[in-house]
Structure 1
Amino acid sequence: MSALSRLTATETRLFFREPMLVFFTLGFPPLLLAILGAIPTFREPEATLGGLRVIDLYTPIIVAMGVAMFALNSLSQLFATYREKGVLRRMRTTPVKPKVMLGAQLLMSTIMSVVTMLVVLAVGRLAFDVSLPRQLPAYLTGYLLTALAMFAIGLLVASLAPTGKSAGAIGTLLFFPVVFFAGLWVPRDNMTGALRTISDFTPLGAGVQSLQDATAGHWPQLLHVAVMLGWTIVAGGLAARYFRWE
């Protein structure tokens, strides 16, 4: 096995040793979808939503929320903690460089977030008859762009936070406005014009709309692709500029 694959396996084992982290990143999104789907009115078509049901709108929102939880509450805090405890500094004296650790964490987070996405889609389909994406390549493209943008933001938090606790606090503060504009409290279709415009320029707002478009059989809109790429480039560039190994 390569150093990257061994570190990925090790980081995955360490991840599953944290029950609360596992619950909130893997278990909470499908559980939230199940709770929302249990509300009778959420399973009834609404004329104001073009015949869609509220649960149909919430499925991509919760998929995107799962990515945000990995990026802001897991990845950022873990790397800040590793730097605080000197793990990355000690790794610089070994053949396995800290960049491999970064790659392993990103790979593990991506795999786990994809698993969460598949579970959410399965729960939506089997329990509430939510339609699967009609345009699968477009859905995967939108998901990948969403993940890239959010992981870049998570790494930026890890770069700027002095400790693991502060990274967790910053990530939590960012999480709530990000998922608000993704439509968790007010679905994008029910937002006012001003809120919808702001949402279009947030990483999760653009991501959710791209996933909704793909579910309906369309490719993501150029605006939303540009927004997610912009967040990836800017946040990723700043993270690379300010990231400290020790």
Structure 2
Amino acid sequence: MTSAPTPTSTRTPETAAPARRRGPLTAVLLTETRLFLREPGSLFWILAFPTALLVILGFVPPFMEADDNLGGRRVIDLYVPVSVLLAMIMAGLQAMPPVLTAYRERGILRRMSTTPVRPSALLTAQIALHGAAALGSAALVVAVGRIGYGVALPGQFAGYALALLLAVSAVLALGGTICALARTTKAATAVGSVAYLAMMFTAGVWVPVQAMPDTLRRIVQITPLGAASQALDQAASGAWPSWAYLGVVALWTALLGLAASRLFRWQ
């Protein structure tokens, strides 16, 4: 599967002037939003690709038939939470790391330290922007699944929302860790691509976690997106997601967030 193209290296946040008229974080968020909307590649891979994948799978006749091995559910039912996680992977591992690494590599973060805008405001804005894009894509996937293929809406909405927020936090924390470890844009792209492929497998993009052999499934379920996939599936079925799965995702989020904050360098 083709990975998402990296954002162009010509992006330059011009936030010093607006920051004098607005709060620094608001100014950075507005500027980064405008730059993000100018990136058709990122918009496609985060917002459109997960839904497009779901639509393509809907044209496979066996995926629309109930399977006793899946508890009477259809494969397409399982791929709704998988496509939701795919949106997060695209945002956190393919789109965000090259942008932040390019800013640091070109000295933009260092120059920002002399303006009213702190580099931490840029990091916060990037996390908020890509997180919002991933959640927006998730909502689109759920809507298309329901309208196009009759996939039931999450039966346990509160549990689904909790698992969703934990999952996006874990992926963004992983993306932040990649930004911290990679010193160049090329390195961030390479490391992000490896993590991207690994996370797609554990999220069940190629084989749903529920259809994996027992030993492999147990291993996958202790990864952040493997556990998130199971939690989302349980909530979609109407049950409160297992605290064990939620705990795994929360633990990964805390560990990766700590690593990112300790290792990240502004220059």
Aligned counterpart in structure 1 of residue 68 of structure 2, from 37, 43, 47: 47
Which among 164, 180, 183 is matched to residue 143 of structure 1?
164
User: How many angstroms does 1:60 deviate by?
Assistant: 0.1
Give the match for residue 30 of structure 2.
9
| Whole-angstrom distance in 2 between the partners of 1:244 and 1:158 | 9
Match of 1:56 among 77, 95, 110: 77
Specify the code of the residue in structure 2 equivalent to 1:75: M
Report the counterpart of residue 236 of structure 1 in structure 2: 257
CA distance in 2 between partners of 1:143 and 1:18 (Å): 25
1:160 counterpart = 2:178: no
Partner of 1:84: 105
Question: Structure 2, unaligned stretches of length 5 or more?
Answer: 1-21
Partner of 2:128: 107
- For residue 201 of structure 1, the aligned residue among 222, 239, 242 is 222
Query: Which range is displaced more, 214-223 or 150-159?
Result: 214-223
Paired with 1:162 and 1:99, the residues of 2 have a C-alpha distance of 18
| Contact in 2 for aligned 1:36/1:42 (Cα 8 Å) | yes
2:151 partner amino acid: V
- Are the equivalent residues in 1 in contact too, given 2:24–2:116 (CA < 8 A)? no
Is 2:141 aligned against 1:120? yes
Superposed CA deviations along residues 134-164 of structure 1, whole A, max 9, x for unmatched, are 1111111000100111111100000000111
TM-score w.r.t. structure 1 length? Answer: 0.97
Equivalent residue of 2:54, what SS?
helix
The equivalent position to 1:217 in structure 2, one of 219, 225, 238, is 238
Secondary structure of the 2:257 match is helix
Task: Give per-residue Cα distances to partners, 1:190-244, cap 9 Å, x unaligned.
Answer: 1011110111111111111111111111222122112111111111111111100
Deviations 1:175-194 (A, max 9, x none): 11111111111111110111
Query: What is the correspondence of 1:69-80 to structure 2 with a 5 Å cutoff?
Result: 69-80=90-101
Letter of the 2:237 partner, please give it: A
**3-state SS, counterpart of residue 38 of structure 2:** coil
Task: Provide the C-alpha distance between the structure 2 equivalents of 1:3 and 1:29, rounded to a whole number of angstroms.
Answer: 33
User: Of Structure 1 and Structure 2, which has the larger fraction of its residues in helix?
Assistant: 1
Q: Is the 8 A contact 1:181 1:195 kept in 2?
A: no
Q: 2:201 aligns with which of 170, 180, 183?
A: 180
TM-score, normalised to structure 2, is 0.90
Letter in 2 for 1:168: T
Are 1:38 and 2:59 counterparts? yes
Residues 2-60 of structure 1 deviation map (CA, whole Å, 9 limit, x = unaligned): 32222212111111212212111111110000000111111111111111000000000
The Cα RMSD (Å) is 1.0
2:50 corresponds in structure 1 to 29
Higher relative contact order (CA 8 A, sep 6+): 1
| 2:210 counterpart of 1:189 | yes
Deviations 1:53-98, CA, capped at 9 Å, x for gaps: 0000000001011101111011111111110011111111111101
Q: Contact (CA 8 Å) 2:131, 2:172: kept in 1 or not?
A: no
> In structure 2, what is the Cα distance between the partners aligned to 1:90 and 1:218?
50
The DSSP-based 3-state class of the residue aligned with 1:15 is helix
Shift in Å, 1:99:
0.7
